[in-house]
Chain A
Amino acid sequence: MKKSNDREVATPHLAEEWVGKVYTFICILFLIITIFSMVYFVASKGLSTFIVNGVSVKDLLTGLKWKPDSDTPLFGALPFIFGSFSTSILAAIIAAPLGFCAAVFMVELSPKIGRTFMQPVIELLAGIPSVVYGFVGLSVIVPLFRDIFPGQGVGIAAGSLVLAFMILPTITTIATDALASLPSGLKEGSYALGATRWQTIYRIVLPTTLPAQMTGIVLGIARAFGEALAVQMVIGNAPHIPHSLFESTSTLTSAITLSMGNTAMGSVQNNALWSLALILMMMTFVFVFIIRWLEGRKKL
């Protein structure tokens, strides 16, 4: 009797174990295969520019002229690389203080208003489709810059401002979590020593949470780096390194989205775009490594 009871208990457990294990296993396997096939696909396409079409890696990375259609095609992607880095880093420079201040407000100054009002609003920013950001940028920011500054309004300044709004939720959310997880003893100790609220925030809260803040910022830069549509609409897309923040320039992503559909698979123009995609992917890896490194440095 006892034995059969044992069995009845054990079998469903075993079955559950099985379903769980197999299901997880399938999911993991599927993920890994997807990731590897994507990396393989982009890499094989991107590298064929160098292997099949004989473009030199150095020319692609340091060349200043992008003329894939001319009689002597030139594939200099430096303007795009420059554009991508400058817009996304500038976007982070704009968004980081905003995000940190919003987080301080929500956690330290006025948690009630912050949690009930500000947090949903900022999370809403994350849900707006990028084409909407692009269109708002094109309709509001570009004309505004055109009126205030010399130039046509398009360029790095407009691009990074639009991106700053797009990455604000990422930076704010991570900063908020970091501030909320700060042990209250640290702040109380600071207050007990007679520090003011601002001194506490500036000297205790900010330095202790800095690695986490940096993680948020790098995540934001990574997102800005990969954003295509919104940037494409406001940056102007001339394949040149601009002389000012208000001159038309181009990013890796905008170059890809502008021309990918118009070029035939397998042509040298198309392969060159895949090389740009390969650069983007490598940069994403770099960002992931930076984030992991920062995570390891967390003080809390």
Chain B
Amino acid sequence: MKVWKGNLLKMKKSLIVTMALTLSLSLAACGNNTNNGANNGNAAATNNASTNNTASADLSGSILASGSTALQPLVDQVSKEFMDKNSGVSIQVQGGGSGTGLTQVSEGQAQIGNSDVFAEEKLDAAKAAELVDHQVAVVAMAAVTNKDVGVDNLTKQQLVDIFTGKITNWKDVGGKDEKIQIVNRPSSSGTRATFEKFALGTKTEDLAGSIQEDASGTVKKLVSETPGAIGYLALSYLDDSVTSLKYEGVDANEDNVAKGTYPVWAYEHMYTKGEPDAATKAFLDYMVSEEVQNGDVVELGYIPASKMEVKRDAAGAVTK
């Protein structure tokens, strides 16, 4: 008995050391390779999908779509319908912002990266070249003001002067004698990039005293409540609480965007790294199908990509 006990005690010490070593090694491995772990997991899922797609009727696999919060509601809703039809596929939709989506799809952590902007604008050229663009919808933006300012049309130059701080009172653009309060987006925001590129044609600085919010709901709330406020919102957010401005005399509405007369719009992109696997491809095909484009896309306030009579490339050049 004594021998046995003694052995146990001896064992105890060595066992603790061994356990500690194995543990620290395995944990350290975990700690260092979190990303790789996720990669492997996703890669496995992707492989899974591609091996199973010989029978095209029942797709399987798991898809992670992350990125743009502006596109998230659409992808989320469509993914649920898609999963109802293809029970073998599981799709997870995450937000995080366009930059996150593009980074994750570029590094293989996500199968689809949702973005408000072209990949070339966020990633370096080599990384962007690996990504395949799928334009699923169009979002147009309108400059909006508080209801009390008494202006319903601004020219490009007037907008530039307001957002660069040259004009600080509404009376200078034909409105009431009231100080202009800018409600902007953060400089990294895709919405701001679109607005600056196509409405202002120039980048602007963050002015002292300007408000910056990322969430469209917050921007709308601030513009509708703050006297003299100006901001910009996607068309789906417009309602009676704010005044939506004409741009160079053109109404911000779907028809004008489709015809190309109203320039402040951008594609919503769903990027894949290289050509997508079968499940992802089927999902993206479903996304641009008539059913979704005329259904969910319109219902959620986006403009169907198929309806656009003009096209635009990453550099901003418009073609009919």
Indicate if the CB atoms of A261 and B213 lie closer than 8 Å.
no
The main secondary structure of chain A at its interface with chain B is: helix
Q: Are A238 and B103 in contact (CB under 8 A)?
A: no
B24 and A240 within 8 A (CB): no
| Contact B97 A260, beta carbon cutoff 8 Å | yes
Q: How far is the CA of A258 from the CA of B24 in the complex (A)?
A: 36
**Contact (A238, B190) CB under 8 Å given A70-B203, A138-B221, A261-B96:** no
Alpha-carbon separation in the docked complex, A22 to B12 (Å): 11
- Residues of chain A within 8 A (CB-CB) of B106 are 264
What distance in Å separates the Cβ of A115 from its nearest Cβ neighbour in chain B?
A: 39
Q: A33-B27, A33-B31 are in contact. Are A262 and B5 (CB under 8 A)?
A: no
Judged by a CB distance under 8 angstroms, whether B98 is at the interface is yes
Closest B-chain residue to A6, C-beta based? B1
For B31, list chain A residues within 8 Å (CB): 33-34, 37
Interface residue total, chain B, C-beta cutoff 8 A: 48
Interface status of A293 (Cβ within 8 A of chain B): no
- Whether the Cβ atoms of B206 and A66 lie closer than 8 Å is yes
A86, CB-defined interface residue at 8 Å: no
- Given known A238-B208, A238-B212, A264-B102, contact A259–B5 (CB-CB < 8 A): no
- Over the window 9-37 of chain B, the binary record of Cβ atoms lying under 8 Å from chain A Cβ atoms (1 yes, 0 no) is 00010001001100110011001100000
- A265 CB–B CB distance under 8 Å: yes
B123 within 8 A of A: yes
Number of A-B residue pairs, CB cutoff 8 Å, is 132
Q: Is the CB of A237 within 8 A of B213?
A: yes
Contact A67 B187 (CB under 8 A): yes
B296: interface (CB < 8 Å) = no
CA of A22 to CA of B320, assembled, Å: 70
A240 partner, pick from B20, B102, B206, beta carbons under 8 A: B206
A262 lies within 8 A of B97 (CB): yes
Against A, the Cβ 8 Å flags (1 = close, 0 = not) of B98-138 are 11101100110000000000000011000000000000000
Minimum C-beta distance from B125 to chain A (A): 13
| CB contact under 8 A between A69 and B188, given known A29-B23, A233-B218, A264-B99 | yes
Contact A68 B122 (CB under 8 A): no
Q: Whole-angstrom distance from the CB of B70 to the nearest CB of chain A?
A: 11
Beta-carbon contact of A143 and B211 below 8 Å: no
Kindly list chain B residues whose C-beta atoms are within 8 Å of the C-beta of A29.
20, 23-24, 27
The residue in chain B whose Cβ has the minimal distance to the Cβ of A247 is B209
Residues of B with C-beta under 8 A to A233? 213, 218
Q: How long is the Cα–Cα vector from A163 to B184 in the complex, in angstroms?
A: 24
Stretch at the interface among A52-60, A88-96, A266-274, A280-288: A266-274
Chain B window 177-194, contacts with chain A (Cβ cutoff 8 Å), 1 for yes, 0 for no:
000010000111110000
Task: Give the B-binding residues of A (Cβ under 8 A).
Answer: 3-4, 6-7, 10, 14, 18, 21-22, 25-26, 29-30, 33-34, 37, 66-70, 138-139, 143, 146, 151-154, 232-233, 236-240, 242-243, 247-248, 250, 258-267, 269-270
Q: Which are the 3 A-B pairs with shortest beta-carbon distances?
A: A261-B97, A262-B188, A237-B212
A-B contact pairs, 19 of them (CB 8 A): A4-B1, A25-B20, A33-B24, A33-B31, A68-B187, A70-B203, A138-B218, A143-B225, A151-B209, A232-B213, A233-B218, A243-B208, A258-B186, A258-B212, A261-B97, A262-B189, A263-B97, A265-B100, A267-B99
B residues near A (Cβ < 8 Å) are: 1, 5, 8, 12, 16, 19-20, 23-24, 27-28, 31-32, 69, 95-100, 102-103, 106-107, 122-123, 181, 186-190, 203, 205-214, 218, 221-222, 225-226
